[in-house]
Structure 1
């Protein structure tokens, strides 16, 4: 699944006074037809796409489908297959923020309403980057509730994981063959000390915590202790461990150079960029969860360096496939340049970040031509190594007849 994505984040900042709606700030609401034509023109079939949850879900049982209907029909007309993203770093005003214990139930209702309205959609990301959403909102204090505590972080985490699980189950009521592509950030902290610290060991274990709860994988002992000390009850933990993640699960791993960080002896932190790379990090995640993988996001904030970064990421995918590990897709994120992601949206500077296949005037950046070349060379490869003879189909699998 070669893909790109429309940047659709919508967290609240500035004490909840400002909504950072990137669909608006990057011009997609007005130029969605042009954006879909760019996707089609590149020869891409798949598009990571987020409906504006904050504008669509007006209250319990109340929805505004006016924008969603036209853009979803536009995708159908162009033969674009959406990987539909339902919650991307924010919630509607009436739900407050990620501390709301009613979020999972209300969100599951919304997910079912979307699946009922668009029954032709097969690929879903219920909640984008759960770990990042909870950390930046409730531990770093930048988005939404803007809290800075372990208890707030774990509260946001458990609500978002539960929302994703319940939404997946709701989707399956209307699309039993749904493909759930969970997108999460692949990260690592390299500590430059002769004697590694306990804090950094826990930090590298914590990067798995959202997926451990999502997939019912027992976390490391220190992480389990941290969760209980920070407000997760034993009953809640048992619920996560016993909940079978619904649908056909694909583990999407997002990777940017800034995902790896060096912790210097003096306590300073600097980006590491490609010390391990997506290849080594994805191997770690695959060994832990044994799910088919997808490279669900990557870019670099330098349009001249972007072509080299694209090919480096693709080589990581090829190396992993060469090891026999199933990698089902690759994504350059996003279609057009973004606004203020150099400060994680917490500052309203209106600064353009050159990370898209196209700029905000919808003119191609250098990486667009390289993505065309990549598609021309590799567009016919199969979903797993040596699987070019397989033909994707929507028909259910049939049992083999015994002779």
Structure 2
């Protein structure tokens, strides 16, 4: 239920209570809002994700049922040229709308940034400058009660002062320590300034809390890093005194005792400690560098060692969110919240991670730990965190909403424009958030399988026992659920697509049943009903079909029966059993008369029997079961079968044989693993209707062979380009059948796909 915030007291009483002993765990949310500086360039997530210009995002967020949102009122964006030139219009509008929607903003002032260009994290005046801005924010929005002046000070100091990733690009202990102390002092001064306006203002101090494990030889380095992970919180709480393990370290870095004593005399303990934890936050150090790739190698000046993700080497797995939250509680006995819960992975793994974090928080709360909320992070996803936001490469991780979508009016047909503004599309995570916020029980079969971080496939390196260092609070997770989860039924056991679905379901930890025609004949209603009754699948993938395009011209009745009548029967049965259905169509539903990529709403006009069968299938399936997901795709190639165009072309050319390919047929080839992953994500998201999925390209068959050969280092001397009519094909093909989409583009580029195809084939 929405309500208005009338005063800071109302907000505190109604949303973030001081005593939560009998109150439910809340769902908060956050937008990835980093504005970090690399050299002279600012990398702005709010511009990348489009939230900078979309006010109505806030209404989408409110529909999730969240209680609070970590929200950016960032110094670099509001006042890049000084307070006297500040532009508050954006903040006025957004904070005003949040207030109307009844969502508490936890206002962030610096998020992995370093302030405007006239300052930096090592500027001695950085704390005072941020405090002036903080006071201006509080003066303008006196009703705001919760603040995070500096997000993750320790992480930001490491990335900016120790590893050199972000401005001021330091790579030494002194720059790291100066940046960290400057940030922590900035937090204290900012909160002092804010509380002069609103004495009850609350500090929600976030930090990425990982853990480090090591071989016995490197235990000293692991201990240093495990002690250092508490630095920002210990500084704010006034714990860094001459007996503290980090006192000597900071002095060795070049920090004076007088500077450290300042924190003892001016404490600013958090009202809520916000823990951000990622799977990559837990590390393992190993001097046996020969066991690890070169990019993991590093050292501390005394020993050389590999620094790798602990999840990839620790035999017992990770400490995980439960252990780290309990360690934090036992150290500080201050209220806690998980302030970021996110992983970059496939959709079911994102669901599993959130589910695990939520359950850990619930368990600890039941045991008496004062934990207030779990924050679903990256509402709109994030960009380029795979390179730690040091480059703008366009690498996108979807979150609660997926921005790779477009909003199109019903029935509108148009070409795809690369300049379109992204449209947030709710993913399966959005439904999960709504369920958590409303106290509903989560029971999706995909949650019954442990996440990849618990499965044996996670181990990329020789397994090493880390049990002594993991921590007492970790609960052992079984490698298999107590009962077998409901499977995904995959029809088409002998086909390329069916086999690919089975292979990748294995990788993704999705229980499946791969069905032959003998096990389920989709042209026989009784057979379909019997299998659905017995298996009780959570969804069905129809990867079966008649694929011999030329032969279909001679036996149209067989093609129509398998490609159209069978899927219609399957759709009707899925509707009766209330089971989601995914089935596939083709680019050959179009006649090629156009010159722009075909989108989902374009008129179909097939040139051959196969295309006609697919058009009929689309019509019959969506009539029988409108909730079906029907995906049109094009020109398969993949690493696991020997009969696709690319594999045959490279095999023939490598052998010195002639290879003929059409020079006038323009297609958008589809890499099968990308198709399967994207299709599964859409299925899990509960999407329906027609979608186009193909790797982004428009290329002639002959050029496709040439591109693949070039990347593979194979000579194209024997590649012969000919008109399609000289290939002796029986069925007519469209000369142009490129697939675009008015609903969204979820597939990587063709160049990228070919590179991965070649890596997989090696």
Q: TM-score, normalised by structure 2?
A: 0.48
Matches within 5 A, 1:2-401: 2-13=27-38, 16-31=39-54, 33-57=55-79, 58-59=81-82, 62-191=85-214, 193-218=215-240, 221-245=244-268, 249-266=271-288, 267-273=305-311, 275-302=318-345, 303-354=347-398, 356-360=399-403, 361-377=423-439
Q: C-alpha separation between the residues in 1 aligned to 2:85 and 2:53?
A: 24
Q: Tell me what 2:558 maps to.
A: none
Q: C-alpha separation between the residues in 2 aligned to 1:363 and 1:221?
A: 49
Q: C-alpha separation between the residues in 1 aligned to 2:253 and 2:287?
A: 28
Structure 2: unaligned runs, 5 residues or longer: 1-25, 289-304, 312-316, 404-422, 442-762
Secondary structure of 1:19 counterpart: strand
Alpha-carbon offset, residue 35 of structure 1: 1.5
CA contact 2:35–2:44 (8 Å) conserved in 1: yes
Q: C-alpha separation between the residues in 2 aligned to 1:286 and 1:60?
A: 38
Secondary structure of 2:348 counterpart: coil
CA contact 1:55–1:92 (8 Å) conserved in 2: no
Secondary structure of 1:94 counterpart: coil
Secondary structure of 1:2 counterpart: strand
CA contact 2:162–2:175 (8 Å) conserved in 1: yes
Q: C-alpha separation between the residues in 1 aligned to 2:268 and 2:155?
A: 20
Alpha-carbon offset, residue 85 of structure 1: 0.7
Q: C-alpha separation between the residues in 1 aligned to 2:364 and 2:306?
A: 32
Secondary structure of 2:199 counterpart: coil
Q: C-alpha separation between the residues in 2 aligned to 1:318 and 1:283?
A: 12
Secondary structure of 1:172 counterpart: helix
CA contact 2:213–2:219 (8 Å) conserved in 1: no
CA contact 2:43–2:389 (8 Å) conserved in 1: yes
CA contact 1:250–1:294 (8 Å) conserved in 2: yes
Q: Per-residue CA shift, 1:81-122, capped at 9, x if unaligned?
A: 101111111134333311111110111011011011001111
Alpha-carbon offset, residue 140 of structure 1: 0.6
CA contact 2:341–2:376 (8 Å) conserved in 1: yes
Alpha-carbon offset, residue 60 of structure 1: 5.4
Q: C-alpha separation between the residues in 2 aligned to 1:70 and 1:231?
A: 45
Q: Tell me what 1:391 maps to.
A: none
Secondary structure of 2:117 counterpart: helix
**Residues 300 and 5 from structure 1, CA distance in 2 versus in 1: closer, same or farther, beyond 3 angstroms?**
same
CA contact 1:95–1:103 (8 Å) conserved in 2: no
CA contact 1:137–1:145 (8 Å) conserved in 2: yes
Q: C-alpha separation between the residues in 2 aligned to 1:173 and 1:221?
A: 32
Secondary structure of 2:264 counterpart: helix
Q: Tell me what 2:3 maps to.
A: none
Q: C-alpha separation between the residues in 2 aligned to 1:107 and 1:82?
A: 19
Secondary structure of 1:268 counterpart: strand
Secondary structure of 1:8 counterpart: coil
Q: Per-residue CA shift, 1:302-348, capped at 9, x if unaligned?
A: 13311111110011101211221100111010111111011110122
Secondary structure of 2:212 counterpart: strand
Structure 1: unaligned runs, 5 residues or longer: 380-403
**Residues 17 and 78 from structure 1, CA distance in 2 versus in 1: closer, same or farther, beyond 3 angstroms?**
same
CA contact 1:4–1:331 (8 Å) conserved in 2: yes
CA RMSD of aligned residues (A): 1.7
Q: C-alpha separation between the residues in 1 aligned to 2:115 and 2:274?
A: 25
Q: Which entry has the higher C-alpha Rg, 1 or 2?
A: 2
The alignment covers a number of residue pairs equal to 373
Q: C-alpha separation between the residues in 1 aligned to 2:118 and 2:126?
A: 7
Q: C-alpha separation between the residues in 2 aligned to 1:286 and 1:21?
A: 34
Q: C-alpha separation between the residues in 2 aligned to 1:239 and 1:284?
A: 27
Q: C-alpha separation between the residues in 1 aligned to 2:27 and 2:184?
A: 27
Alpha-carbon offset, residue 222 of structure 1: 4.2
